[in-house]
């Protein structure tokens, strides 16, 4: 299967995560270590989670014994991660004929973030240092030998990785020459030899995305002009000149998914666009004529932006369309995938199932099956015999019959918008008892949304008798351009209104004890936790702020070099701090300036090396509250970044959070 692995995303998603600069690595610990709660304080917090519970935190958050199965391109090997006694997840390769298993990639102090096959005998993996997101690309043979750091530069990060099929090369983008901008390089993954393919000259109006074909040829690029206008250029295949194709506002979408190699027309491509519609749709487009050939797929309610095409064995035909609706939807198109999905549907009914790996000839497919109550099982599907075989159950200890239902919900906001979301209900709520509620605003906030499926957090909370509410408030992605932009400059304001309206809806349904409502979230969700305790202090009993923003001013000041080209976008999404009126609003919705309004218990959690939300954001809120005599338990992990990736740290966090909720919701 073709590798096109995106490490960092371009304009729209970049700003939705809004990363900030990681603190430089020095002998001094980041932030103010004197603020961090003692081990004894956190152990006391953990002790409050008492009860005769069928499942432990480890049952939900210990990593699977094995995971991330992949078939080699020639179908001879099966690779996978396997966890050892020290919670390290090494990559192993199994010879499917002989049964011989080899440890190929060794995970040491830093996590192997992602991995995959480069060819039939070589693997890649990505890794940073302690969560700082300065990501490097490595390659090694399947026996672990000939290990190479393909991007051996300090202080840089990868943008994208694209495999050039049937060659020894990958094309990557990285900010090697100028920390503000990314440029493409062709790298021999056997020798490490590197060639720069194009120069990104203008930091004020930089190229922010490159369009390559399957053979590694640069066919186009997009320029972000003055931070607000996206200009798409396409290469004339006769003259070699890059001509301006489209000039659009940054809030609009016109993006090349990939070229249509099934067509004789080399200028034909699949495009996702909302230039003439509210919802993003997929069209076939002639890039030379600058014209739509035909619509491929659209949906009246949800954005559609993802497709999958076959490789050369089936002449690159369109296989399926995929989008997030109320649930994740896959629409098979090719005869091959229609047959595969008909078989999967007959076996797995209304569960979700995806083909995640195959050999080049598609003799064997790896399929993951999941649902709101099933974490996931890997199956091997033989396309010749049409037979399915269970390969691995990722979480066999979690029984489906014990898991809680994640129920899609829909309600009207106070100003008339239709808001979608999900509520996960424990058994007691289904039996008519009013239960405590944990409100869980998502991160981003722009362009991100919560989805239906197995969520170990909400299942853990349900095991303790808590319902969990997830609201896709205005500014969330997937519901069209108008819905997303309606939340711009409303962060901390109308976006919070939607969350509050969701709580009121849940209370009106009779599911929730209105006097036992907590709020918890990560990143923007952490910010929303702080703002919830400030804006509606009587609504919530307590809150957990996980790597959340507390001060919009210091948040903006911490942007790294490679986010500076997007600063004008950030001003339109959040607030323009150079505008006195908007700066006043930003101060009003910056929690650190509203500390006196926080009256309910708060637990703060932070990764010290966080490159998105600097540890200073959490330090500020803890220091400010403690100066007022308000005690705040504060957990910091010094080998983590924006969210905890290491197993023991995750277990510590969830055990402490459960204790905090038990202390404040079960009085």
Dig out the tokens for 647 from the structure: 């197993």
DSSP calls for 374-437: ---EEEEEETTTTEEEEEEES-TTS-GGGSPEEEEEEEE-TTS-EEEEEEEE-HHHHTT--EEE
d(CA 437, CA 540): 9
Q: Are 249 and 239 in contact (CB under 8 A)?
A: no
Nearest to 270 by CA among 312, 319, 325: 319
CA 288 to chain CA centroid, nearest Å: 34
Q: How confident is the model at residue 9 (pLDDT cuts 50, 70, 90)?
A: very low
- Kindly tell me the burial class for residue 292, based on how many C-beta atoms sit within 10 Å of its own C-beta (0-12, 13-18, 19 or more): middle
What local confidence, expressed as pLDDT, does residue 560 receive?
A: 74
What local confidence, expressed as pLDDT, does residue 27 receive?
A: 55
What local confidence, expressed as pLDDT, does residue 293 receive?
A: 98
Mean pLDDT of the chain: 94
d(CA 590, CA 575): 11
Q: How confident is the model at residue 25 (pLDDT cuts 50, 70, 90)?
A: very low
12 pLDDT more than 90:
no
Dig out the tokens for 343 from the structure: 């078989």
Q: Are 549 and 525 in contact (CB under 8 A)?
A: no
What local confidence, expressed as pLDDT, does residue 563 receive?
A: 79
Helix axes 524-535, 494-508, angle to 10 degrees: 70
Q: What percent of the chain has pLDDT over 90?
A: 93
CATH superfamily, region 204-311: TolB, C-terminal domain (2.120.10.30)
562 pLDDT more than 90:
no
576 pLDDT more than 80:
yes
Q: How confident is the model at residue 204 (pLDDT cuts 50, 70, 90)?
A: confident
What are the tens digits of pLDDT across the range 216-258?
A: 999 999 999 999 999 999 999 999 999 999 999 999 999 999 9
The boundaries of every CATH 3.40.50.1820 domain in the chain are 33-59+399-665
The fold adopted by the segment(s) 33-59+399-665 is: Rossmann fold (3.40.50)
Helix axes 647-665, 456-463, angle to 10 degrees: 40
Dig out the tokens for 550 from the structure: 């507390």
What local confidence, expressed as pLDDT, does residue 203 receive?
A: 84
Residue 382, φ and ψ in degrees, nearest 5: -90, 115
Residue whose entry in the numeric block shows the structure tokens 């009779």: 510
Q: Are 601 and 525 in contact (CB under 8 A)?
A: no
125 vs 611, higher pLDDT: 125
Residue whose entry in the numeric block shows the structure tokens 């700082």: 132
Q: How confident is the model at residue 622 (pLDDT cuts 50, 70, 90)?
A: very high
User: What is the mean predicted confidence (pLDDT) over 23-45?
Assistant: 84
d(CA 317, CA 262): 6
8 pLDDT more than 70:
no
What are the tens digits of pLDDT across the range 267-312?
A: 999 999 999 999 999 999 999 999 999 999 999 999 999 999 999 9
d(CA 540, CA 348): 40
The boundaries of every CATH 2.120.10.30 domain in the chain are 204-311
DSSP annotation of 594 reads G
What are the tens digits of pLDDT across the range 510-532?
A: 999 999 999 999 999 999 999 99
What local confidence, expressed as pLDDT, does residue 564 receive?
A: 82
141: β partners: 122
**What is the phi-psi region of residue 331: left when phi exceeds 0, alpha when psi lies from -120 to 50, beta otherwise?**
beta
6 pLDDT more than 70:
no
| Least confident residue range of 23-37, 213-227, 297-311, 407-421 | 23-37
23 pLDDT more than 70:
no
d(CA 374, CA 401): 9
Confidence (pTM) = 0.94
| Least confident residue range of 67-76, 401-410, 554-563, 628-637 | 554-563
User: What is the mean predicted confidence (pLDDT) over 306-333?
Assistant: 97
DSSP calls for 241-286: -EEEEEEEETTS-EEEEEE-TTSS-TTEEEEEE-TTSSS-EEEEEE
CB-CB neighbours of 446 under 10 Å: 26
């Amino acid at each position: 299967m073709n590798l096109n692995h995106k490490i960092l995303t371009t304009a729209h998603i970049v700003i939705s995560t809004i990363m900030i600069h990681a603190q430089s690595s020095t002998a001094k610990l980041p932030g103010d270590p004197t603020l961090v709660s003692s081990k004894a304080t956190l152990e006391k917090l953990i002790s409050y989670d008492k009860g005769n519970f069928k499942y432990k935190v480890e049952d939900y958050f210990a990593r699977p014994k094995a995971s991330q199965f992949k078939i080699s391109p020639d179908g001879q090997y099966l690779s996978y991660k396997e966890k050892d006694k020290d919670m390290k997840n090494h990559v192993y390769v199994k010879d499917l004929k002989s049964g011989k298993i080899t440890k190929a990639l060794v995970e040491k102090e830093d996590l192997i973030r992602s991995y995959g096959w480069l060819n039939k005998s070589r693997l890649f993996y990505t890794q940073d240092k302690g969560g700082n997101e300065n990501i490097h690309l490595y390659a090694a043979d399947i026996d672990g030998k000939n290990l190479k750091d393909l991007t051996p530069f300090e202080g840089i990060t990868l943008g994208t990785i694209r495999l050039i099929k049937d060659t020894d090369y990958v094309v990557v983008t990285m900010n090697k020459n100028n920390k503000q901008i990314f440029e493409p390089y062709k790298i021999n993954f056997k020798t490490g030899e590197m060639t720069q393919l194009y120069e990104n000259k203008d930091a004020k109006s930089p190229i922010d995305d490159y369009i390559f074909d399957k053979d590694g040829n640069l066919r186009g690029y997009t320029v972000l002009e003055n931070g607000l206008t996206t200009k798409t250029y396409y290469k004339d295949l006769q003259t070699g000149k890059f001509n301006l194709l489209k000039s659009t506002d940054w809030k609009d979408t016109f993006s090349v998914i990939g070229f249509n190699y099934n067509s004789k027309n080399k200028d034909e491509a699949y495009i996702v666009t909302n230039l003439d519609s509210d919802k993003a749709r997929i069209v076939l487009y002639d890039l030379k004529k600058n014209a739509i050939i035909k619509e491929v797929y659209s949906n009246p309610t949800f954005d559609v932006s993802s497709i999958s095409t076959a490789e050369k064995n089936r002449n690159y035909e369109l296989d399926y369309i995929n989008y997030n609706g109320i649930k994740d939807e896959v629409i098979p198109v090719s005869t091959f995938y229609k047959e595969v999905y008909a078989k999967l549907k007959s076996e797995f009914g209304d569960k979700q199932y995806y083909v995640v790996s195959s050999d080049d000839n598609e003799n064997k497919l790896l399929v993951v099956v999941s649902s709101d109550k099933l974490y996931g099982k890997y199956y091997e599907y033989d396309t010749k015999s049409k037979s399915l075989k269970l390969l691995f159950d990722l979480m066999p200890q979690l029984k489906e019959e014990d898991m809680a239902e994640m129920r899609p919900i829909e309600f009207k906001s106070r100003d008339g918008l239709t808001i979608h979301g999900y509520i996960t209900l424990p058994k007691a709520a289904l039996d008519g008892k009013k239960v405590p509620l944990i409100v869980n605003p998502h991160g981003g906030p722009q362009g991100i949304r919560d989805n239906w499926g197995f969520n170990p957090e909400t299942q853990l909370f349900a095991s303790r008798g808590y319902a969990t509410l997830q609201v896709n408030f205005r500014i969330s992605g997937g519901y069209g351009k108008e819905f997303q932009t309606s939340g711009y400059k409303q962060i901390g304001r109308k976006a919070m209104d939607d969350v509050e309206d969701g709580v009121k809806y849940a209370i009106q349904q009779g599911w929730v004890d209105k006097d036992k409502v907590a709020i918890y979230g990560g990143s923007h969700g952490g910010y929303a936790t702080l703002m919830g305790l400030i804006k509606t202090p009587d609504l919530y009993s307590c809150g957990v702020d996980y790597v959340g923003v507390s001060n919009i001013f210091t948040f903006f000041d911490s942007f790294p070099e490679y986010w500076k080209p997007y600063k004008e976008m950030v001003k339109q999404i959040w607030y323009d701090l150079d505008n006195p009126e908007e700066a006043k609003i930003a101060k009003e919705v910056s929690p650190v300036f509203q500390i006196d309004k926080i009256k309910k218990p708060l637990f703060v959690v932070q990764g010290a090396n966080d490159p998105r939300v600097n540890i200073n954001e959490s330090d500020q809120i803890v220091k400010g509250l403690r100066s007022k005599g308000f005690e705040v338990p504060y957990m910091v992990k010094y080998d983590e970044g924006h969210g905890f990736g290491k197993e023991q740290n995750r277990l510590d966090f969830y055990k402490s959070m459960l204790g905090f909720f038990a202390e404040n919701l079960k009085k």
